[in-house]
Each structure stands twice: as C-alpha cells, then as structure tokens.
C-alpha cells in the first residue's frame, strides 16, 4: 500500500461543509482583505496560542520580518539564529538588513544549543536572536534562552512556524514569547487555504506597531508613520483557518498518535535513532524525524520512495551551506552537529488523519531498510 508523505485532502474533506457557506458569505460581503472574520480569527488564535494579542499577516516569512523590525532590529545589527532551520528564518534577518550569526544545535533536542548561543554572544555581541521551535517541539533550555536574553539585552524573536499546539510545562510555547510568529502554509499543523501567517505579542504597543508595519506603515488613512509592507490576510483565508482552529484538538490528537506510533514501533531498533521532544515539552506531531545509523538521509528517503512510502528531509542542508550565506553570515564554531543532522535526517509520513495501517506500512519499510 503506497503511503503519501502528506495528504491535506483528509482535513479538507472534514472542513468542506463548514467552509463553503462561510466563503459564499465572504464573497457576498466582499470581505477580501481584512474584515470581521480576520478580526475573529485573531481572537481565536490568541486563545489557542495563550497570548493576549495576535496580528495576522500574509505568511510566516513576513511575520518574521515585521517581528524583527518591531523588536528594533536595524540594518547592520547582528542577529543569531540556529544553523538548522527553514531558510525563511535566515532570509528575514537579511531582508531587514541585519547580519545573521549562525549557531549550532544541541544533539539532544535538535534546537539551537544554549551553550553555543551564550558563547556566540560573547564572541560576536549580537543584539537580537531568532529562536526556532523546530520539528514540532521546543528547546529543553527555552527558559534559559528567555532569561539570558532579558539579562543581556538581546531582543528575542521566537519562530513558531512549526510549533502550533506545542506546550511547554503545560502552557502554549509562544505564551512566554515577547514576540512570536507562526505560519499557515497549508502543510503546517494549522494550515490555511493559501499562504498566511501571524505574529503573537504581549503589549498593546507592539500590536499597534505590527498592525502599522503590516499595512504600509500606516498611521491613519493615507498618512504614514513609517515605511512598512503590504502583508494582510483575506477573509476567505480567515474563514478557512477558523474552521481549522476549531478542529485543533482532533488535529493534535491525530498527529501525536502517529508520532507516538512511530516512536514505539521504531524506538528500540539498534540502527534507528528516532528523535523526541525533551522532558516537559508536549509535541504537536508536526514531523516524525529519525536517522538510520550508517546510512545517509537521501539514501533512506530514496529506498522508502522505492517502496511506495512518501518521505522527505527537514532539512537536507544547513543555512551555512546555502550559496547566499557565503561570505555574508557569521559562522560561530564548527557547526558540526547541525551538519551531521542534515546529512542523515529523514521524515516519515505524518498528517492529520493518517491511519495506523499507513504508519505501520511506513515503519515496516523503514525497518527493512535499517536492518
């Protein structure tokens, strides 16, 4: 039985009867950009993410760009980020004219290493950082990152594109972020019907600034306080996302069940290293990530695909390996952990509605390859 890496149609089928009348209503009211459905979604997102305020925008990359600007990152500033993340985390720093400082990851949780972060701060004196909650969980040292940044005056942005629904010590991961971001790219845990994103904030001041930044730097109609961006959400997208957010408990249950299935089935095998969230972190089941000892990640993915199993590699290369980073980014240390992880990482099929039979098919193929 072939198993897709992702099948969005299972969620779409569940939402269809709820979304279509809402979309018809949006069309009838011409609610194309902004409007009451976008405002309602922002309130629903704030509740789900455990924060007082949320500002929606056009995608998760814009959310990072405006998030950095709201934190006061200016051209020429140095901004730390993990060497293992999605390229948008890097891109956003360069788009605001800042200089990326690449920091290695911790082999235990695959998130930015706190020790390397502190040593990079001493060596390079960055004034801001983007911490990424990658792979559907978060750093074991999250509290240390936040405390260190407050003590040392480092402005901390938290990229939560992959962490919607993650809890840390019983609270949503972005609840403690000064400014956090998320992405509604359709493949995400809360995925939209088109690109979308949001920024979480604690203060009214940040909310006002971010609303302005996302709307051409507007102060009032046709008067501008700053140079901003056009990064706004459609009512159609908000209607779809509200339906997804209403299903969040079921989505998380399905994804966590599949992640636990893989961990139980593959965890004891001598040749398989299956990655897991640190203690105190409840994953959202965004990805099932593992490595097969003695085999390269691409070799394993090719072998899975030959057996009809969809698989991918998040991510096959680090930030410092990308051509536009050469001679631009500051590299802290040898970055050997992130390079090693990218050489071997493999992601198995995992999506809302995946069945135990499909997980078993994927796990059996992986066991065959690893033996």
Ligand X SMILES: Cc1ncc(COP(=O)(O)O)c(C=O)c1O
17 φ, ψ (degrees, to nearest 5): -70, -20
Residue nearest to ligand X (CB): 60
170 φ, ψ (degrees, to nearest 5): 85, 0
Q: Which DSSP letter does residue 171 get? A: E
Residue 317 in the binding site for ligand X (CB under 6 A)? no
Instruction: From 36-44, 54-62, 268-276, 340-348, give the range in contact with ligand X by CB under 6 A.
Output: 54-62
Residue 58, sorted as left (phi over 0), alpha (psi -120 to 50) or beta, turns out to be alpha
Q: How far is CA 15 from the centre of its chain?
A: 23
Residue 144 in the binding site for ligand X (CB under 6 A)? no
Tell the smallest beta-carbon distance from residue 68 to ligand X (Å): 12
Whether 61 contacts 91, CB under 8 Å: yes
Residue 60 in the binding site for ligand X (CB under 6 A)? yes
Cβ proximity to ligand X: between 60 and 297 the closer is 60
Q: Which residues contact 316 (CB under 8 A, 6 or more apart)?
A: 297, 298, 342, 345
Among 59, 113, 200, 212, binds ligand X (CB under 6 A): 59
Tell the smallest beta-carbon distance from residue 233 to ligand X (Å): 12
Residue 197 in the binding site for ligand X (CB under 6 A)? yes
Question: What is the size of the binding site for ligand X (CB under 6 A)?
Answer: 15
Residue 238 in the binding site for ligand X (CB under 6 A)? no
Cβ proximity to ligand X: between 265 and 313 the closer is 313
Cβ proximity to ligand X: between 44 and 195 the closer is 195
Q: Which residues contact 150 (CB under 8 A, 6 or more apart)?
A: none
Whether 208 contacts 199, CB under 8 Å: no
Residue 342 in the binding site for ligand X (CB under 6 A)? no
Binding flags for ligand X, 149-168, as an x/- string (CB under 6 A): ----------x-xx------
Cβ proximity to ligand X: between 61 and 178 the closer is 61
Omega of the bond leading into 315 within 30 degrees of 0 (cis) = yes
Tell the smallest beta-carbon distance from residue 247 to ligand X (Å): 20
Identify any residues that bridge with 330 across adjacent strands, giving them in sequence order. 101
Site for ligand X in 72-131 (CB under 6 A): 85-86, 88-89
Report how far residue 173's alpha carbon sits from residue 138's, in angstroms, rounded to the nearest whole number.
Answer: 8
Whether 291 contacts 315, CB under 8 Å: no
Instruction: From 58-66, 149-157, 212-220, 319-327, give the range in contact with ligand X by CB under 6 A.
Output: 58-66
Tell the smallest beta-carbon distance from residue 353 to ligand X (Å): 21
Whether 349 contacts 309, CB under 8 Å: yes
Would you tell me which residues interact with ligand X (CB under 6 A)?
59-61, 85-86, 88-89, 132, 159, 161-162, 183, 185, 195, 197
């Amino acid at each position: 039985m072939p198993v897709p890496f992702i099948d969005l149609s299972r969620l779409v089928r569940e939402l269809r009867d709820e979304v279509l009348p809402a979309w018809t209503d949006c069309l009838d009211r011409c609610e194309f950009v902004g409007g009451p459905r976008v405002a309602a979604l922002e309130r629903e997102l704030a509740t789900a993410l455990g924060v007082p305020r949320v500002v929606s925008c056009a995608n998760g990359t814009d959310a990072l760009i405006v998030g950095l600007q709201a934190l006061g990152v200016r051209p020429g500033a140095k901004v730390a980020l993990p060497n293992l993340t999605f390229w948008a985390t890097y891109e956003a720093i360069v788009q605001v004219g800042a200089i990326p400082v690449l920091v290695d990851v911790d082999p235990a949780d695959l998130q930015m290493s706190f020790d390397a972060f502190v040593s990079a701060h001493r060596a390079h004196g960055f004034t801001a950082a983007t911490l990424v909650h990658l792979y559907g969980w978060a750093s074991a040292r999250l509290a240390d990152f936040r405390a260190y940044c407050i003590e040392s005056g480092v402005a901390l942005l938290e990229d939560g594109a992959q962490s919607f629904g993650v809890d840390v010590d019983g609270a949503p991961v972005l609840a403690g972020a000064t400014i956090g971001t998320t992405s509604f790219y359709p493949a995400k845990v809360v995925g939209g019907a088109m690109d979308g994103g949001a920024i979480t904030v604690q203060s009214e001041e940040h909310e006002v600034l971010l609303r302005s930044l996302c709307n051409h730097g507007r102060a009032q109609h046709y008067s501008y306080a700053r140079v901003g961006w056009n990064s706004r959400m459609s009512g159609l997208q908000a209607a779809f996302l509200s339906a997804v957010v209403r299903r969040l408990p079921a989505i998380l249950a399905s994804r966590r069940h599949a992640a636990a299935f893989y961990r139980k089935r593959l965890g004891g095998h001598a040749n398989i290293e299956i990655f897991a969230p640190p203690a105190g972190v409840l994953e959202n089941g965004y990805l099932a990530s593992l490595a097969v000892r003695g085999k390269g990640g691409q070799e394993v993915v090719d072998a899975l695909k030959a057996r009809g199993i969809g698989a991918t590699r998040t991510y096959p290369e680090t930030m410092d390996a990308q051509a536009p980073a050469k001679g631009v980014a500051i590299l802290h240390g040898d970055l050997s952990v992130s390079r090693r992880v990218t050489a071997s990482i493999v992601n198995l099929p995992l999506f809302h509605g995946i069945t135990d039979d499909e997980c078993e098919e994927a796990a059996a193929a992986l066991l065959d390859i690893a033996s």
